[in-house]
Structure 1
Amino acid sequence: MRIKRSVLLTVIGLLLTTNILTLIFSGKGEGKNTESVASIDGKDITREEWLHSLEDKYGKEELKALINRKVMDRLALKYDISVSQKEIDREFAMIQSAYNVFDEGNLQDEKDIKSQIKADLLLEKLLTKDVEISDKELKKYYEQNERLYTIPKMVKLKQIQVPDQSEADQILKELKDGSSFEALAMEKSTDQKTAPLGGDLGYIPDDGNILTQEAKAEVDTLSKGEWSKPVPSDDGYLIYFVEDTIKKNHYSFKQVKEQIRRKIALEQVESPMRAESFWDELDVDWYYGKDQTK
């Protein structure tokens, strides 16, 4: 499983596009295509013009994504292939430990990421279903790369940054009175990177260097759902909230054996890692023609 930050961003972008198109096209109806959605110097832009523009820009990719979802579902039934929640959670934990230094590009919706992980695992299984790798080779790979299968303890944090102690105390009072940490972060945090995200810092590895020693010591005393006392920083004071925790874990060879088999097998498979590789098998025909699958 090899999901990079850029891929995650693309995934979320496509998901957002899907939602937008669904909302827009669900509004289509008799007489609606000629209604005005904007005007320039008194001249209207009609809903029909708008929809044509959206179809030209997003239509092909959205139709391809829809076909691919249907293709994967059909093939999963045909070959009796499934992806367990345990597999998805393991891949998600490994992605978080591999890529989660603070970066807005990583702070994506967990549900969407796990949905993409499931789709990618299913595709990997389909592409490699007929490839056999000896146990000796699998064991050798595991022993040479065992560090990749150790997940450090991680904490999913949100933060609120304020300029002085009095404002920090006011934040604590509002939290105790029942205010949402996320809402307060968006409204009152002075940190420009995390405030628009509700203070979200993502998953912070225990062995990372993102937090100061004082902040780490304070966060280590917290349980899920608790917030910290104000911690001094270069820009004032920080209040942290523990949204989730992942325990340190080391995956045994038995637990990741199938994952390793797929990884090695994918290097031997000639077909590109795309759902379109299976279109011929299911005799897919679409609006853009046989030569337009790329």
Structure 2
Amino acid sequence: MKRVLFFILLMAALIFAGCAEKKEEVVAVVNGEEITGEQFRSYYNMLKNSYELEAGKIDEHKDKNLLKNIEDKAYDDLVLQVLIRQQAEKEGIKIDDRELEADLQAFKEHMGEKGYKDFLKRTGMTEKELLRQLKIEKMYKELKERVTSDVKVSDEEVKKYYEENEDLFKEPGGIRIYHILVDSEEEARSIIARLNKGEDFSRLAQKYSKCPSREKGGDLGIVNESTNFVTPFKEAALKLKPGEITQEPVKTEFGYHVIKAGEKVAGGIKKLEEVKEELRYQLEEEARNKVFSNYIENLQRNADIIDKRK
């Protein structure tokens, strides 16, 4: 009986040892570096979840072409991420873990504890995966900066583009609008009270607004009847006279707004000097994107990439 039991235990040990030695599934090899099936499935699920958040649930039977597209994008993205990291390391680009942690903490504070947890749940990401994506993003930006640092656009090129595309610089009349976006009516009322006591709108926007426009003191630019803003916001904004602030919070699907009207602006074509630096930045960014796109294509063309998907 003991010999039989010993034999069974020995066979079980050999079987489990064989399982332990079994190599993990590999979906691609990039310059000798493997992308595992686990990495692929995790990233694929994240993309799929993100798509469903925007467009609704995917029907596994009817949307097979869509699922194939998501699968191909997951594969292409992961291969590109490996190439970016490999090249960044060759260029001596290093991302400090403390910097990543600081970015993650800032993201958590912006989202709030509940919002952050909901974000991870909705996307199917773990915090480890999020940190990895943040690191790749930073490497991408650093590498792009190095590759495109010499790209410049001259005054002559800016002027030429302006003269050939004058219609793009037509500005309709309207009124400059600023806003502060917050989550609750109570917070909005508190801000209105502080503004009525003379506090600076721009400073309060920078401190409290949830809208990216907070970086510009809440400035949303020129608003008129054709501006593509949600109706309650646009109607409230266009009722204001220059210098006025809404005395009641304006509720929209985004939250509660405190709105301020700036100066009225007549329609016309902006002068070159008004748009020169912004236009230079736009043209340089387009040129950088083209240079870096060619750089990435060259990396992909010269890389040893083996697709091991079945």
Shorter-normalised TM range: 0.3 to 0.5
Normalised by the size of structure 1, how large is the TM-score? 0.34
More helix as a share of residues: 2
Normalised by the size of structure 2, how large is the TM-score? 0.32
